[in-house]
């Protein structure tokens, strides 16, 4: 089979890429839940020369740890769900590229399921990222404004940069989520077109 329907390989290739990235994200999310406490302990053990910076660091890490603990169960469910969907995405994309009928069905259903899952996971992720970055900004700004040798202008610039980082992170999250949702809808519709039906009817296994 040398001639595939238009964008057929694009659909399967991007499905495979998203599946691989999603699997790594799921593994990373799971590991962060397991090792999070150890990382916070290591961060708290780093001694600062200035007592106010030391206090700010300890307060910041404790509040970040509280946020992580507050969302531990949702984060765990998201990591597990992300891993499961990513595995099915990889299986579906690879099998569809090989014209396996069952894999096509798996791929289509996974694409449909990914839409509500990614919306919920994306919203939860942005909430956690916003709260974490906001805490970091507030405490770092407070610490730097009282740090020896730190001018008010420098502290203000640092606060402004960190504030901009919050919004840039949220914008990136919304754009990335939007692109993924667009792909899921487009890819699912493309796989259900008559020319793809004909392809699998003639060459599917």
Total domain count, the chain: 1
pLDDT digits (tens, 9 = 90+) for 7-29: 999 999 999 999 999 888 888 87
Residue 77 resides in a domain = yes
* Spatial contact of 19 and 86, defined as CB atoms under 8 Å apart: yes
Residue 160 resides in a domain = yes
Question: Domain containing 14: what range?
Answer: 8-197
Q: What is the mean pLDDT of residues 38-60?
A: 58
Q: Is the pLDDT of residue 45 over 60?
A: no
Whole-model pTM: value is: 0.77
Q: Is the pLDDT of residue 83 over 70?
A: yes
Q: Rounded to whole angstroms, what are the CA distances from 89 to 16, 86, 97?
A: 7, 5, 12
Q: What is the mean pLDDT of residues 128-154?
A: 68
pLDDT digits (tens, 9 = 90+) for 86-115: 999 999 999 999 999 999 999 999 999 999
Query: What is the per-residue burial (b if ≥16 Cβ within 10 Å, else e) of 5-29?
Result: beebeebbebbbebbeebbebbeeb
Which is more confidently placed, 161 or 193? 193
* Spatial contact of 67 and 128, defined as CB atoms under 8 Å apart: yes
Residue 149 resides in a domain = yes
Residue 192 resides in a domain = yes
Q: Is the pLDDT of residue 36 over 50?
A: yes
């Amino acid at each position: 089979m040398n001639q595939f329907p238009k964008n057929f390989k694009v659909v399967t290739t991007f499905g495979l890429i998203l599946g691989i990235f999603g699997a790594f994200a799921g593994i990373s999310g799971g590991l962060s839940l397991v090792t999070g406490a150890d990382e916070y302990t290591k961060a708290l053990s780093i001694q600062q020369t200035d007592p106010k910076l030391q206090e700010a660091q300890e307060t910041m890490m404790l509040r970040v740890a509280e946020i992580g603990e507050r969302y531990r169960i949702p984060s765990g469910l998201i990591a597990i769900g992300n891993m499961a969907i990513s595995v099915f995405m990889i299986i579906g994309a690879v099998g569809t590229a090989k014209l396996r009928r069952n894999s096509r069905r798996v791929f289509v259903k996974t694409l449909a399921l990914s839409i509500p899952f990614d919306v919920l996971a994306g919203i939860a992720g942005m909430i956690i990222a916003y709260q974490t970055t906001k805490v970091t900004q507030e405490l770092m700004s407070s610490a730097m404004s009282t740090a020896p040798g730190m001018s008010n202008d420098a502290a203000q610039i640092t606060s402004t940069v960190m504030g901009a980082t919050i919004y840039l992170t949220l914008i990136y999250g919304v754009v990335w989520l939007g692109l993924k949702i667009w792909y899921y809808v487009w890819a699912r519709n493309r796989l259900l077109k008559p020319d793809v039906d004909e392809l699998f009817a003639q060459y599917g296994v």
